[in-house]
Amino acid sequence: MDRIEGLIESLIVPASSRIVLLVLDGLGDLPHPEHGGATPLEAARTPNLDALAPAAAQGRLLPVAPGVTPGSGPGHLGLFGYDPLTHPVGRGVLEALGAGIALQPGDIAARANFCTRDAAGVVTDRRAGRIPTETCARLVERLQREAVRFEDVEVVLQAGKGHRFVAVLRGPGLGGEVSDADPHKEGKPIPAARPLADGVEHAKTARIVDAFIARAAQVLERESPANAAMMRGLSARPHFPGYHERFGLRAAAVAAYPMYRGVAELAGMDRYIPPSEDAAAAFAEVARVWADHDYVFVHIKGTDMAGEDGDFARKVAVIEEVDAALPRLLALQPDVLCITGDHSTPVMMRAHSWHPVPALVWSRLAFADGLPRFHEKHCRAGSLGTLASKDLIAVLLANAGRLDKFGA
């Protein structure tokens, strides 16, 4: 916990107010030259957002640091009030969360994949000829039967796409500081996993990884081309103080995609899966869990996917769909409503970017900026200014009447 986080926690006072954090994944965008210099948020017809805007405070969020493009993990950790720079989440853990694996305390997660080795043990294809996903599923199933336990550690596998799968090591005394059992290029043997820090827990993990890889090679001996397996990004499920401990909030996450529920789990939120991916379904799920929570995080994935696909019209359509469903959310009468993104995914870039993310905070006490609409251009002039994402939670708590005065 950094200094600022400790500060906010020390100021928490009880209240009965409710906060909604509505995240449109990858919301931020750039003025698009082929659309009259408008951003998707600007081009969208958003009567409900427009009605909200004048009474709200607008600003921009900086997810990690100037110029730094965040992945989804750091992007959401920031929004949840955890500095992504001091709350690292390993690659393997994010992969496992994204695969919907419920990680338990002490679990070590890894990205794994099948590969092809020659008779001398040299990796000749790191992707095993990009085997079909069905082959991957069959091989993972075999491994899950025949390479399941080493010492007192259980290895839990889940097939992914093509040659990829996720491995979770579950057992006592495991550490996450272990090098990759992956040569990272063809023409070399799979290296042994090495502990990267002192402590028997890291050595134990390295030992289990090597035993798994040796056993996997035996099991896969007669397979072709996927006759071996590798692991990388080994990391321990981190332990962060959760929302209840930090802020006294009963927090919920409503997200259709497992990765976002996974990151929310790291913050100690209850997780709910809406019946479908659209905003109306998500908001209906919020309504369902409303009575038991003080804080609800709602995740909408479509904006990011449209941005990644370079599809301006679809990004506009997703925003308009969220806007159309918005009255359902407003009907719950949240005391504080924040609408923002975890990062920008500009249509022009077809990728996440470093650009600050538009944010709107509505509450009875948010500074009413009087801006006619909510989008990237108005956000530059809003009263929230440019905030580090990790500081957003303090603003939401303050608007919710949940923060005491600092000093006399």
CB of 158 to its own copies, least distance (A): 16
CB of 388 to its own copies, least distance (A): 8
Q: Would you tell me which residues interact with its own copies (CB under 8 A)?
A: 3-4, 7-8, 11, 30-31, 33, 37, 60, 64-74, 84-85, 88-89, 91, 94-95, 98, 346, 348-349, 351-356, 365, 367-370, 376-377, 380-383, 385-388, 391-398, 403-408
DSSP string, 323-367: HHHHHHHHTT--SEEEEE-SSB--TTTTS-B-S-EEEEEEETTS-
Whether the CB-CB separation of 145 and 156 falls below 8 Å is answered with no
Query: Which residues have C-beta within 8 Å of that of residue 3, sequence separation ≥ 6?
Result: none
Residue 270 beta carbon to its own copies: minimum distance, rounded to whole angstroms: 24
Q: Which is nearer to its own copies, 44 or 64 (CB)?
A: 64
Nearer to its own copies, 208 or 397 (CB): 397
CB of 363 to its own copies, least distance (A): 11
Give 222 or 405: the residue with its C-beta nearer to its own copies: 405
**Whole-number minimum distance, CB 378 to its own copies, in Å?**
11
* Least Å from the CB of residue 110 to its own copies: 13
**DSSP 3-state assignment of 79?**
helix
The answer to whether residues 85 and 65 touch, using CB atoms and an 8 Å cutoff, is: yes
Nearer of residues 120 and 408 to its own copies, judged by Cβ: 408
Nearer to its own copies, 208 or 393 (CB): 393
Residue 392, C-beta contacts closer than 8 angstroms, at least 6 positions apart: 61, 78, 79, 81, 338, 340, 359
Q: At its nearest, how many Å lie between its own copies and the CB of residue 233?
A: 8
Considering the complex, state which of residue 19 and residue 228 has its C-beta at the smaller distance from its own copies: 19
Q: How many CB atoms lie within 10 A of CB 125?
A: 17
Residue in this structure with the two tokens 């159309």, named with its chain if needed? 324
- Answer for the pair 191, 231: CB distance below 8 angstroms, yes or no: no
Least distance (Å) from its own copies to the CB of residue 107?
A: 17
Q: Cα–Cα distances in Å, from 404 out to 13, 181, 227?
A: 6, 50, 61
Give me the phi and psi of 101, to 5 degrees please: -80, 130
Q: Whose Cβ is closer to its own copies: residue 138's or residue 380's? A: 380
Cα gap 133→111, rounded to integer Å: 16
Give whichever of 227 and 389 is closer to its own copies, judged by the CB atom: 389
In whole angstroms, what is the distance from residue 265 CA to residue 273 CA?
Answer: 13
Cα separation of 20 and 339, whole Å? 8
Element (H, E) at 260: helix 258-266
Q: Based on CB atoms, which residue is closest to its own copies, 219 or 357?
A: 357
Least Å distance, CB 280 to its own copies, is: 30
* CB of residue 36 to its own copies, shortest distance in Å: 11
Please give the single-letter amino acid code of residue 210: D
CB nearer to its own copies: give 195 or 346. Answer: 346
Instruction: Tell me the torsion sign for CA atoms 186, 187, 188, 189.
Output: positive
Q: How far apart are CA 80 and CA 14, in angstroms?
A: 19
User: What is the rounded CA–CA span in Å between residue 378 and residue 307?
Assistant: 21
